Amino acid sequence: MGGMATLNFAVDHPEVLRERVSGIGLVATAAGDLLPPLLGPRVAALGGRLVERLDDGRSVPSYRFTGNDLSLFLCRLAFGAEPSAAAIEQVRASIEATDEEALHRSLAGIWQHDTMDRLDEVDVPAFVVVGARDLLTPVPLARAMARGLPDVELTILPRAGHQLMQERPDEVADLIRSLSARTASAAPAAASGRA
């Protein structure tokens, strides 16, 4: 959810973006529209009601599937063709260790997240990387996000799913190094243009 938080921050704080951010890496994320148009607003409204209940101190239902084959299966869906058993277990353990209220609030935030119409405001170099088998933030969402960003490189990793940092750490690291090189070479040109 870091990419979504980054996009929200970038469009809500353009002065910080201009002064302190030289580039943004968006790994397996989306700018909005995670659900079909008829379903999206309903799920977002449901998430809003869930957060209201939490804010009021009322109980909310638990949707956690812990320590069983269903939780293992659901975590496996986040990966592509050949994940390691250790990576799947790491994701499952991470989700199971997350506080129940934090999970509810995070999921509600995902369904309400939408920066699609403001992506042109993110005027720093960026990369978008997505796994070809990502079921959570699939390739069409990555393409749509890349079309909206002014200076972006889109990479689709074959056979990979949503957990790119665990499945394809070397490729993600290469993209970060490439972005760093792009921003370093652009910095002197930008500085001389300001003189």
Percent of the chain with pLDDT over 90: 52
DSSP string of 17-72, one letter each residue: HHHH-S-EEEES--SS--S-TTTHHHHHHHHHHHHHHHHTT---------SSHHHH
99-144 per-position pLDDT tens digit: 888 887 787 777 777 899 999 999 999 999 999 999 989 999 999 9
CATH topology of domain 1-34+115-187: Rossmann fold (3.40.50)
Chain mean pLDDT for the chain: 86
47-66 per-position pLDDT tens digit: 788 888 888 888 887 766 66
102: buried, middle or exposed (CB in 10 Å: 19+, 13-18, 0-12)?
Answer: exposed
Residue ranges per structural domain of the chain: 1-34+115-187, 35-112
**Full-model pTM:** 0.82
